[in-house]
Structure 1
Amino acid sequence: MQFKDITGHQEVKNHLLNSVKTNRVSHAQLFLGPEGSGSLALAVAYAQYVNCENKKDNDSCGECSSCHKYERLIHPDLHFSYPFYPSKETAVAIDVLQEWRTALQKNPYLGLNYWRDQLDAGNKQANIPIKEVHDIIKKLSLKAFEAEYKVLIMWLPEYLDKEGNALLKLIEEPPAKTLFLLVAENQERILNTIISRTQLVKINKIGHDDMKNYLVDKHQIENSTANEIAFIADGNIQEALNLLAYQEHNSSFTTFVEWMRYIVTDRGSEIMKISDENLSKLGRENQKSFLLYAINMIRQIMLIQQGLRSLVFLKEEELNFVEKFSELYQFEQLTEAINLLEKTHYGIERNGNPKILFLDLSLQLVLLFKYQTFPKGTQYI
């Protein structure tokens, strides 16, 4: 994987390139960035550049033996560790290495739920167990096979728990030419003893324009659709890919309008039917994508209410709906609607019962839009 293949983050790329050019490669680095930001892809591209046999000024050559092996993720001195779902057949990460390589090559912006789906893990809890920690220590105690650096890329060290303390001595005093790259999303969940032994590489979410260009260039979608998805995904390419897949197979706008019509007219039987027969059967990722779409639509309504039409990225049909809806409700009601949608999204992420969650959400929205009042008064349908 080369830097040129990764969307955005030019400042981070320059920092990583300069660390190699000036021979200031820290042996333990923490790539900290939100899901879908490309932090894992940057770590792989950095490792490839470090071991490239014919480095260019701004990237690895992509042609040497080392680069070819890195592109296929099969370099003998490149090791990965990641959360997985231990079982009798799967004791350490290498037991699902082929699945990992396939997933990462297909989607370098992958999130944990995407990785879970590749393993068909059901409701199992992911972690990095103590056997995996011992396997890491064993692998890194060996000499490098052919590269200058042995590299371990650990994705989501948040899942190490206290077992990670067994790695402290190795991280603090590693064998010569050993490079630890930890790729994390939530600093608060990482052991402080590990954070204190690493150099931080902060990675921000991807900007709107970079996201839009990625969707247009890589997925050949229309500019207006790319604008809309980029706005909803808010810097998370994994979420953008989820939304793109959802829109390819579903009419989110039609479903949203039908659902809202039942809610604002308080049609109980139809609400129960659409919650039970439509929304609850979408599948978890599609349910999350639908809720994000709904959140975006409410936000667009709020933008129009505030006179910020230039920030609204919608097709004509959606724009007409948003304009009409913006005249009916107060800003405070819309804000509370977003809070309810976000709570339901969190419940879906936590494997809550979708029938109960969507029915409860619908009924709370009925109360909010039809009966709840605010100090300035409210206009109702």
Structure 2
Amino acid sequence: MQFREIIGQEETKKHLIQTVKENRVSHAQLFLGPEGSGSLPLAVAYAQYICCESKGENDSCGECGSCRKYLKLIHPDLHFSYPFFARHKDDTAITFLAEWRNVFLENPYLGIDDWRNQFDAENKQANINIAECHQIIHKLSLKPFESEYKVLIMWLPEYLDKEGNTLLKVIEEPAQKTLFLLVAQNSDQILNTILSRTQLVKINRLEDRVIRETLVNRHHADENRAARIAYLSEGNYQAALRQLNEEVNNNFDLFIKWLRLCVSNQVAQVIDHVDVIAKLGRENQKGLLRYGIKLIRESIMILSGANSLVHLTSEELEFVTRLSNAINLAKAEALIVEMERSHYHVERNANPKILFLDVSLLFVKILKFNTLPKGTQYIT
């Protein structure tokens, strides 16, 4: 992976390159950024640049023996650790290395759901187990085979439980010329004992402009559709790619019909509509909920006096304007909270009919009967 292949993040790239030029490469670093921001490809490109045999001013050469092996993720001094769905207690990341290489090379911006979809995970939870921790210690105790450095990139250390404490010594006092690069999304979920031993590399969400230009230039998307997807993706390039690859959906019609049925308290029709939503499939259900949250937030923008909503279509603008006249901040907050909760449960394979019927009845209480959940922030 070369820096030039990674979209945006120009300041972070410059910072990483400068640390190599000034010989300030910290042995343990935490690449912290939201999903789809490019944290993982940045870590790989950084490792490749460090190990490149013919470094350029702003990137690895891409042609030396080290780079060619890095480009295929087969360099003997490059190691990966990541959450996996263990079938046996002795399974480690190496067990799933072939799948990992294929998924990363196809899409370096992958999220945990994209990784999960490669397996028949059933109800198994992803984690980084004690066997993997022991494997990491063993791998990092070896001398480099070819490069000056040996590198371990751990994706999503949030999935390390207390077993992660076995890695403290190798993180704090690694063998010479050993790099430990952690790639995380939420520092609050990382063991404090590990967090305190790393140097932070903060990676911001991607700008809408960067995603829009990438969709147009790399994927030949229509300019208007690219702008709309960039806005809805909220800086997540992976989410933008998912939306780009989806057929044009009817989320607008589905969502406004859902709200109108709830407002009018037409229970029989609500049940029929829930059946329609339940048949959409998990990813489309999540997309519908994210879209609904966006529209409600636009209504909040209008209620707050921010009327610069040029990214909306004329139909959407008309709808959110009407909605802002029919609800207040407290109701808007309650609707968003319920949809975010539903999104969480959809990700975890909740029964869609039961889930969407439940949230529909809560919508009825909020919109028809003005009954707000306890703890709603804007209740006066």
Fold conserved (TM > 0.5)?
yes
- Residue 305 of structure 1: CA displacement? 4.4
**Which residue pairs with 2:216 in the alignment?**
216
- Residue 94 of structure 1: CA displacement? 0.9
Residue 242 of structure 1 contacts residue 285 of structure 1 at CA under 8 Å; is this kept in 2?
no
**Which residue pairs with 2:295 in the alignment?**
297
Residue 303 of structure 1 contacts residue 312 of structure 1 at CA under 8 Å; is this kept in 2?
no
**Which residue pairs with 1:253 in the alignment?**
252
User: Aligned partner of 2:103: which letter?
Assistant: A
Residue number among 355, 362, 365 corresponding to 1:364 in the alignment: 362
**Which residue pairs with 1:270 in the alignment?**
269
Per-residue CA distance 1:158-182 (angstroms, 9 max, x = gap): 1111111211111122122111101
Name the CA distance, whole Å, in 2 between partners of 1:358 and 1:122.
Answer: 22
Name the CA distance, whole Å, in 2 between partners of 1:245 and 1:116.
Answer: 19
TM-score (norm 1): 0.91
- Residue 365 of structure 1: CA displacement? 1.4
Name the CA distance, whole Å, in 1 between partners of 2:305 and 2:32.
Answer: 36
User: Aligned partner of 2:171: which letter?
Assistant: I
TM-score (norm 2): 0.92
Closer/same/farther in 2, CA of residues 166 and 306 from structure 1, 3 Å limit: closer
Residue 300 of structure 1 contacts residue 312 of structure 1 at CA under 8 Å; is this kept in 2?
no
- Residue 306 of structure 1: CA displacement? 4.3
Residue 28 of structure 2 contacts residue 181 of structure 2 at CA under 8 Å; is this kept in 1?
yes
Per-residue CA distance 1:264-318 (angstroms, 9 max, x = gap): 322211211121x222222222211110011112222333444533234123333
- Residue 148 of structure 1: CA displacement? 1.6
- Residue 373 of structure 1: CA displacement? 7.6
What is the SS of the residue equivalent to 2:79? Answer: strand
Name the CA distance, whole Å, in 2 between partners of 1:66 and 1:41.
Answer: 17
Name the CA distance, whole Å, in 2 between partners of 1:189 and 1:329.
Answer: 36
Question: 1:64 and 2:64 equivalent?
Answer: yes
More divergent stretch after superposition (82-91 vs 2-11): 82-91
User: Aligned partner of 1:321: which letter?
Assistant: F
What is the SS of the residue equivalent to 2:326? Answer: coil
What is the SS of the residue equivalent to 2:176? Answer: coil
Closer/same/farther in 2, CA of residues 104 and 47 from structure 1, 3 Å limit: same
Residue 2 of structure 1 contacts residue 60 of structure 1 at CA under 8 Å; is this kept in 2?
yes
Closer/same/farther in 2, CA of residues 178 and 369 from structure 1, 3 Å limit: same
**Which residue pairs with 2:375 in the alignment?**
none
Identity of aligned residues (%): 56
Residue 90 of structure 2 contacts residue 131 of structure 2 at CA under 8 Å; is this kept in 1?
no
Aligned residues: 372
- Residue 86 of structure 1: CA displacement? 0.8
Name the CA distance, whole Å, in 1 between partners of 2:303 and 2:325.
Answer: 8
Name the CA distance, whole Å, in 2 between partners of 1:243 and 1:263.
Answer: 27
**Which residue pairs with 2:13 in the alignment?**
13
**Matching of residues 203-352 of structure 1 within 5 Å:** 203-246=203-246, 248=247, 250-275=249-274, 277-352=275-350
Per-residue CA distance 1:40-71 (angstroms, 9 max, x = gap): 11100100100111111111112222112111
Closer/same/farther in 2, CA of residues 327 and 339 from structure 1, 3 Å limit: same
Closer/same/farther in 2, CA of residues 345 and 326 from structure 1, 3 Å limit: same
More divergent stretch after superposition (175-184 vs 60-69): 60-69
**Which residue pairs with 2:163 in the alignment?**
163
Name the CA distance, whole Å, in 2 between partners of 1:372 and 1:303.
Answer: 21
More divergent stretch after superposition (128-137 vs 87-96): 87-96
Closer/same/farther in 2, CA of residues 373 and 177 from structure 1, 3 Å limit: closer
Name the CA distance, whole Å, in 2 between partners of 1:302 and 1:24.
Answer: 46
Closer/same/farther in 2, CA of residues 192 and 304 from structure 1, 3 Å limit: closer
Name the CA distance, whole Å, in 1 between partners of 2:341 and 2:167.
Answer: 37
Residue 242 of structure 1 contacts residue 286 of structure 1 at CA under 8 Å; is this kept in 2?
no
- Residue 24 of structure 1: CA displacement? 1.0
- Residue 78 of structure 1: CA displacement? 0.8
Question: 1:55 and 2:55 equivalent?
Answer: yes
Name the CA distance, whole Å, in 2 between partners of 1:267 and 1:161.
Answer: 47
Name the CA distance, whole Å, in 2 between partners of 1:67 and 1:182.
Answer: 21
Gaps of 5+ in 1: 375-381
**Which residue pairs with 1:379 in the alignment?**
none
Per-residue CA distance 1:101-121 (angstroms, 9 max, x = gap): 111112211111111111231
Find runs of 4+ consecutive structure 1 residues off by over 6 angstroms: none
**Which residue pairs with 1:145 in the alignment?**
145
Please provide the CA RMSD for this pair. Answer: 2.0
- Residue 91 of structure 1: CA displacement? 0.6
